[in-house]
Structure 1
């Protein structure tokens, strides 16, 4: 299928994108434009800023949904992965020794060698176990071993594992998996190009408690946020401080997705120029507007993520708005 982009596409009037300004001693130095959408589990766009149909690759925010087959196949239970293993399957981790050990445990329980991982070995590292996606890849391989699928080709889009993932994601979005647009992610696995509203819909499902596989994965992420990203990283700090109220999973190139636990609501954010600092600033700005976190938690996170350096500050303008014209 032909990939396309909606950058520059027409937007409904009156709901501009958010803006993030990097201020140096109070003077604007850089500006980022950001789109955001909030959806419920029925796929309705409840609130937006900018264009909810903005197309982008979901990148690593897809990981909880790629891990569904790890759970549903019985591979997670067969290997005794537990919540720590499930959290690792969803992780974009820091590559620490403890992270690498958790990924190794998934493989070891299925009698799979680390050399069979097809994610790259990071520069300066000794093993692909240290790659930030090693938990996802370990879960992929373990699932293939459980279902007697080929291990060597597990990243190919036509592999039974990847086809099953596409089918499951398509079911959540209410469309055939064959219609989903795929491309190769940096770790070698397929990722998807989706409208922002569909990313928000996926995360509404993640928090809805209506899908047993996703319920287990979401609980694991909340139980072990330190495995999902790492100390000092946004997803870990948000979930660790969020009193079980939010699930957070970012992706490269300015993607940030958040679930409101128990309410079946999802928030998806895309920074046009891909800046990580902007997506984190917007996430906190919108979480405050949505009242999904306590004021004390927000204040702690703002101190950590909105002051990137001496004399520097990130300032967000704009807001989510209701729009009855959006279905």
Structure 2
């Protein structure tokens, strides 16, 4: 995307943890906004900063499900598709939804290769089990082997990679893979690329992604869970934003219908800082109302009786 030209960085965003008004800790973050054509609109830091996409990649891994006829073959619902895109909490409702995908696809739950969470009994309870169930369902639909669906060269992983390459107009062989904690491949990507992906997801111009967008925004509880940032943001904005969090300080949000995407990376990986950044940027962009910003701030910025988060800095044009 930026081959042959280095883009100059702007000032980073800073998140301060204040204890009774006195700075106790500081996090630095970068953020990028792109449109659905990949054009850089606003930035704080460098749009070329790279990070592993982690769980923000899940809606695009799910394209293998929507593009392969798997939904129709096994009569999967939007709730099923939402849990495929999720980082869920392992509630009974969410676990049942993952099981439903496997049952309808005639895949035994023992085929799941994600870990068993600490203190739990089943791989179905792992927060990425929906993604894994989706990969198994696609493999069943297309006649791929089930026992090695996480291998880099497995056809379902190559299908996912080809879809990413198509969306980002970048050769598949240039993507740098690594194992996510769940064992599935993730990719080392620029913030600009992540923002572009979410702009495309939010634009509704691609039928395969439009179904994913609808599933996530119509069933936000499946995507994360009660009290989780993605669920609360999508619920409060009533489908105007699509949101997905990732580990190590990564957060992506799309402005539905307007083809704009936001990607955030907190450089030290702090979870609390990325939510404060997201609220700050969404308010600055006018993507959320003051009342929604205040509602979110009560949970994600005011951290207790004596401490709160404060964000300094703004996105600017390069």
Q: TM-score by structure 1 length?
A: 0.94
Kindly provide the CA deviation profile for residues 80-123 of structure 1, in whole angstroms up to 9, marking residues without a partner as x.
Answer: 21110010110000111111000000000011111110000001
Partner of 1:203: 198
Partner of 1:302: 297
Partner of 2:30: 35
Partner of 1:312: 307
In 2, the alpha carbon distance for the partners of 1:47 and 1:305 equals 24
In 2, the alpha carbon distance for the partners of 1:294 and 1:310 equals 25
Alignment pair present for 1:71 and 2:66? yes
Give the secondary-structure state (helix, strand or coil) at the position aligned to 2:203: coil
Identify the match of residue 8 of structure 2 among 7, 12, 15. Answer: 12
Partner of 1:49: 44
Partner of 1:165: 160
Partner of 2:120: 125
Equivalences for 1:190-269 in 2 at 5 Å? 190-269=185-264
For the Cα contact (< 8 Å) 2:217–2:238, is it kept in 1? no
Identify the match of residue 171 of structure 2 among 176, 189, 192. Answer: 176
Kindly provide the CA deviation profile for residues 169-227 of structure 1, in whole angstroms up to 9, marking residues without a partner as x.
Answer: 01100111121110000000000100100000000110111111110000000000000
How far apart are residue 243 of structure 1 and its match?
2.1
* Runs of 4 or more consecutive aligned structure 1 residues displaced over 2 Å after TM superposition: 10-13
For the Cα contact (< 8 Å) 1:56–1:193, is it kept in 2? yes
Alignment pair present for 1:84 and 2:90? no
In 1, the alpha carbon distance for the partners of 2:313 and 2:306 equals 23
Kindly provide the CA deviation profile for residues 219-258 of structure 1, in whole angstroms up to 9, marking residues without a partner as x.
Answer: 0000000000000000000001012110000100000000
In 2, the alpha carbon distance for the partners of 1:78 and 1:295 equals 44
Give the secondary-structure state (helix, strand or coil) at the position aligned to 1:12: coil
In 1, the alpha carbon distance for the partners of 2:154 and 2:241 equals 33
In 1, the alpha carbon distance for the partners of 2:62 and 2:165 equals 14
Partner of 2:91: 96
For the Cα contact (< 8 Å) 1:167–1:178, is it kept in 2? no
Partner of 2:182: 187
In 2, the alpha carbon distance for the partners of 1:169 and 1:12 equals 26
RMSD between aligned residues: 1.0
In 1, the alpha carbon distance for the partners of 2:94 and 2:237 equals 22
Partner of 2:3: none
For the Cα contact (< 8 Å) 2:204–2:213, is it kept in 1? no
Gaps of 5+ in 2: 1-5
In 1, the alpha carbon distance for the partners of 2:116 and 2:191 equals 31
How far apart are residue 12 of structure 1 and its match?
2.6
How far apart are residue 285 of structure 1 and its match?
0.1
Q: TM-score by structure 2 length?
A: 0.97
In 2, the alpha carbon distance for the partners of 1:237 and 1:184 equals 29
